[in-house]
Structure 1
Amino acid sequence: MTFCAGALANAATLNLSPLPQQEAKTQATVQLAPAQIQNVLASQQVPAPQAAVEQHGTDAEDDATPEYATLSDAVAAQEDIAALEEDRELRCLATGVYFEARSEPLSGQLAVADVILNRSTSGRFPGSVCSVVTQKGQFSFVRGGKLPTPPANAHWRRALAVAQVARKNLWESPAGDALYFHARYVNGAQGRATVATVGNHIFYR
């Protein structure tokens, strides 16, 4: 039997004076006790859309991801550079950026950092950044498997910030999935596909 909510709400206050027999029968089929009315109304309540609320919360967190207008802004936003030096993997990455690309534009420095990161996750090179940078015969600034110590100057601080931007993937690199790079004046691609040319470097895979 289907009940109208309005009729149910008023059932407890119906006139109880004697009714003709036929009318009394009709009334008897719809009268409910107040407690029964509350039970029926409660059964019609719809649970709150919990999944939708949780999804909205996730979207809000995604919206909190910082965005930068330029690569320069992303680099400038990296703070506490001294603390970054304590991270060995980041220091190795920054050392590669410094010695290979400190005179390049920021996009060129970022591209070098991404080549190193790409190698560390490719499965074709060692699996850590420091191992990639110190791999024998790969980077000319490495001597005897050891990294030189960069001077504590503005170029080094910028290299640390660029390395952090690359590792956090805060800016899209023009190097894409490149695994190699060399100076423009070197013919070292050996038939590999060129990905980009940035500053004085050619990047390829």
Structure 2
Amino acid sequence: MRYANSLSGALALGLAFSFTVIAADGSGAVAQDRTPQIAAPAAAAEPELLPLDPAYAADPAPLESPAHPAVSAQSLAQLVAAQPAGDLPRELECLAGAIYFEAKSETLDGQLAVGRVIVNRARSGRFPASYCGVVFQRAQFSFVRGKAMPAVSHGSRAWRTAVAVARIAHEGSWQSAAEGALYFHAARVSPAWNLTRIARVDSHIFYR
């Protein structure tokens, strides 16, 4: 059984640094001509970040999923399968969309690592304080075009998985191999980033 770590603190990086996160799939670019279904919220009306589950906030290393206390988290796949279906709050839809476009072809560990970067950014005090704000921040995620995400096939297995992983990333109910990361890029490129490398998970390299 794995345990979740507490989120990392704010980074000692200058405000002048701005890095573009590079998508691994290229799926967002392919779908750019389709009608977008997830548009960025107006800047003046950015929603507040959803709170952590109280059980996780009180104990950053829960033994079980806070949303499903009866389900033992013996594997990430089991925890994904145990997530509820149904409508998502706007913030979790933004988080799931980023996981979908950045990492839908990755393993569950890879998808979770990407999701945790967005959660970490929203809670860091150095980025917009909501998942939608982080995802739609200018020049950060290459799949975002015109302040909107490309169309998503909401009936697909890949989307359902991204939704489940988004819930887990938000709750902090499973430890990512890249805990504490605020940045990542595709392993096929080598940007000159003066950052601390944390881990490589699938085709992404993560930093703080």
The two structures have a TM-score, normalised by structure 1, of 0.66
Amino acid paired to 1:202:
I
* Residue 186 (structure 2) pairs with residue 175 (structure 1): no
Q: Which segment drifts farther, 185-194 or 118-127?
A: 185-194
Q: Distance in 2 between matches of 1:166 and 1:189?
A: 28
Q: Distance in 1 between matches of 2:95 and 2:195?
A: 24
- Partner residue of 1:41? none
Runs of 4+ in 1 over 4 A off after TM superposition: none
- Partner residue of 2:158? 155
- Partner residue of 1:77? 82
Q: Distance in 2 between matches of 1:198 and 1:118?
A: 17
Amino acid paired to 1:78:
Q
The two structures have a TM-score, normalised by structure 2, of 0.65
Q: Which segment drifts farther, 126-135 or 169-178?
A: 169-178
Q: Distance in 2 between matches of 1:160 and 1:178?
A: 20
Post-superposition offset of 1:169: 1.3
Q: Which runs of 5+ in 1 are unaligned?
A: 1-61
Identity, in percent, stands at 50
Q: Distance in 1 between matches of 2:63 and 2:94?
A: 32
Amino acid paired to 1:77:
A
Q: Secondary structure at the match of 2:185?
A: strand
Amino acid paired to 1:79:
P
Post-superposition offset of 1:189: 5.3
Q: Which segment drifts farther, 187-196 or 117-126?
A: 187-196
Q: Does the 8 Å contact 1:89/1:130 carry over to 2? A: yes
Q: Does the 8 Å contact 1:111/1:175 carry over to 2? A: yes
* More helix, by proportion: 1
Q: Distance in 2 between matches of 1:189 and 1:131?
A: 26
Q: Does the 8 Å contact 1:189/1:204 carry over to 2? A: no
Post-superposition offset of 1:63: 8.0
Post-superposition offset of 1:79: 1.7
Amino acid paired to 2:81:
A
Q: Does the 8 Å contact 2:63/2:72 carry over to 1? A: no
Q: Distance in 2 between matches of 1:94 and 1:116?
A: 10
- Partner residue of 1:194? 197
Q: Distance in 2 between matches of 1:172 and 1:112?
A: 12
Post-superposition offset of 1:144: 1.6
Q: Which runs of 5+ in 2 are unaligned?
A: 1-61
- Partner residue of 1:67? 72
- Partner residue of 2:113? 111
Q: Write the mapping of 1:17-96 to structure 2, written as runs, cut at 5 A.
A: 65=69, 66-80=71-85, 82-84=86-88, 87-96=89-98
Post-superposition offset of 1:188: 2.2
Q: Write the mapping of 1:126-165 to structure 2, written as runs, cut at 5 A.
A: 126-152=128-154, 153-165=156-168
- Partner residue of 1:185? 188
Higher relative contact order (CA closer than 8 Å, sequence separation 6+): 2
Post-superposition offset of 1:145: 1.5
Q: Which segment drifts farther, 144-153 or 105-114?
A: 144-153
Relative to structure 1, is the Cα distance of residues 189 and 93 closer, same or farther in structure 2, using a 3 angstrom cutoff? farther
Q: Secondary structure at the match of 1:176?
A: coil
